[in-house]
Structures are given as structure tokens and as C-alpha cells.
Amino acid sequence: MRTIASLEELKSLAGQEVATSAWMTVTQEQVDRFAEATGDHQWIHVDVQRAARELPYGGTVAHGFLTLALLPRMLSESIGMGPDVRMLLNYGLNRVRFPAPLPVGRRVRGIIALQAVEEVAGGVQLTWLVTVECEGADKPVCVAEFLVRRY
């Protein structure tokens, strides 16, 4: 966990890689729960037997949006803001890509860089570039510009 003690320290980190999250395993149970929550029951995500037969990954793959949903966890478990922060809000995304599939059962982690710090009413908007890499894969499984408001 990297702690950023002040707004001044945060601003000094713009344009730099700030942290790398811990590895986390994406499980079939997570994928199944995500499918239930979103209604996306496409067989490549939930039909383990068929995916083992028909997909080149040897099994199911996680939803891209499940991978994207891991970003807040990756940030919160990797970067702590100082005691003067009263609230952080997910503000949105600018650009998101899923360059490679995420086979279920594999481990992922986020490489987190701070692209920009911009003043907003009552706080700052942070633009984080998060590259989610899959252990043993050549390409990332997600690359996203993630906007967070810090108040």
C-alpha cells in the first residue's frame, strides 16, 4: 500500500507510475455472480464444459466489464490517501479497451499511473491509467482511464 499524504504530493506524482496492486484470482464463482447481476449469461462466461471444448483458453473467460469492475478495488488496496481526504468518488471512464481475454482462474493485477490532477469545485479530479495484466499473458486484459474525484 502506498500512502499519498497530501494534495501536493499527489500533484507531484502526475505523469508517473504510482503503484501496482496485489495479484488477485478471478474465479468462476465471481463470473457466475457477475452474470447473475448483469444478465449477461453468454456461454463463453458461464458454460464451463462448452468453453473447455470450444474456446482456445481451455475454459471460460471473464466478462470485460467484470475486469473493469475490479479497478476500484485495485486502487483502494494499492493507494491510500491522507487523513485530509473525506471522500473519493468514482466519476467515470474516458477510454477503455480489452486487448486480450481473461481466462477464469488466472491472476490479474493493476499497474496504476496517475495521468492528471485537475482542480474541480471542492476537490480534484484524478485521471488514473490502469493497465490490468494477466499473469503469464503477453497483452493486458484491460487498459482504462479511470476518473476519481477526491474531496
Q: Could you say which of 3.30.420.480, 3.90.1150.10, 3.90.1530.10, 3.10.129.10 is the CATH number of the domain covering 2-150?
A: 3.10.129.10
What DSSP string runs through 45-87?
A: HH-HHHHHHHSTTSS-B--HHHHHHTHHHHHHHHEEE-TT---
The residue whose grid cell reads 482511464 is 145
Question: Assign residue 136 a region: left if phi > 0, alpha if psi is -120 to 50, beta otherwise?
Answer: left
Q: By C-alpha distance, which of 147, 148, 113, 110 is closest to 129?
A: 113
- Residue 80 near residue 9 (C-beta atoms within 8 A): no
- Residue 147 near residue 125 (C-beta atoms within 8 A): yes
Q: What is the pLDDT of residue 82?
A: 85
Distance CA 85, CA 63 (A): 33
Q: What is the radius of gyration, based on Cα positions, of the chain?
A: 17
- Residue 9 near residue 83 (C-beta atoms within 8 A): no
Q: Is the pTM of this model over 0.85?
A: yes
For the CA atoms of 31, 33, 35, 37, the dihedral, rounded to the nearest 10 degrees, stands at -140
Distance CA 24, CA 84 (A): 29
Per-residue pLDDT of the chain (151 residues; tens, 9 = 90+): 999 999 999 999 999 999 999 999 999 999 999 999 999 999 999 999 999 999 999 999 999 999 999 999 999 999 999 888 999 999 999 999 999 999 999 999 999 999 999 999 999 999 999 999 999 999 999 999 999 999 9
